[in-house]
Amino acid sequence: MPELLYEGKAKKIWATADPGQVEMEFKDDATAFNGQKRGTILDKGVVNAKLSATLFAVLERAGIPTHLVRQVDDRRVLVSRLEMLALEVVVRNVVAGSLGQRTGLADGTVLEAPVVELYYKNDALGDPLFNDEHVAVMKLAVPERLAELKQRARAINQVLSAFFSELGLVLVDFKLEFGLRPGGAVVLGDEITPDTCRLWDATTRERLDKDRFRQDLGRVEEAYQEVLKRVAGHGTV
């Protein structure tokens, strides 16, 4: 029986015979507001495993290194084992969620240029928003590495925004997590799914992401399935 290395809110991490690789299993569990709201989204794990594997493959083809090896089954993805950095990098193209609350800008305002934000990965502190000086004080990344993370995030945003635009979707914002290979190279890890992205229909502005769960909008499963349907129809799956 494989060893369970870690279980989080949305995934389980399993050991494999290769110490340099692990399997990520995507769960149907859903949480919001730092775990204060909990529920289940039917077949979310199946949808997210396929979407994340597909989107990471899109990025790999664009020359952006990721931890993806291959999809194993409906819910599991084989990935390289990384030393994860304690930073979440959020890229925002359109005002939504906390950005509107912090700035007073109207929900749906298109930003003139993408905004890159940093959050300290610490559940006990509620993953607080950090600036570069906070990162330096906490010794989370040296300035050169931080600049690399931001540059990589902007490059990913450019690739994914164009990809989703072809599907009639707006990439409003999204969260990225990075890790280090044994030699120290920065690699994109974790996942890219409607759990970690805000995706709106380009015509109707209908939310097709976890905001439907957060805000009790209904049709949560249908929204996730719609994203997968569009991606599958693109011929990349």
- In tens, the pLDDT along 115-132 reads 999 999 998 999 999 999
Query: What's the CATH code, domain 83-219?
Result: 3.30.470.20
For residue 189, list its beta bridge partners: 177
Q: What is the pLDDT of residue 62?
A: 98
Domain ranges of the chain: 4-80, 83-219
Domain 4-80 and domain 83-219, same fold? Reply is no
**Residue 235: pLDDT band with limits 50, 70, 90:** low
pTM to 2 decimals?
0.94
CA distance 188 to 209: 21
Q: What is the pLDDT of residue 190?
A: 97
* Pair 70, 63: CB distance under 8 Å: no
Structure tokens at 45: 């794990």
For residue 175, list its beta bridge partners: 90
Task: For residue 124, give the DSSP letter.
Answer: G
Q: Could you give the percent of the chain with pLDDT greater than 90? A: 90
**Residue 2: pLDDT band with limits 50, 70, 90:** confident
Q: What is the pLDDT of residue 24?
A: 98
pLDDT reading at 233 higher than 90: no
CATH of 4-80, one of 3.10.129.10, 2.70.98.40, 3.30.70.260, 3.30.200.20: 3.30.200.20
In the block, residue with structure tokens 């007073």 = 104
pLDDT reading at 36 higher than 90: no
Helix-helix angle 44-61:143-166, to 10 degrees:
110
Q: What is the pLDDT of residue 37?
A: 77
* Pair 86, 59: CB distance under 8 Å: no
pLDDT reading at 34 higher than 90: no
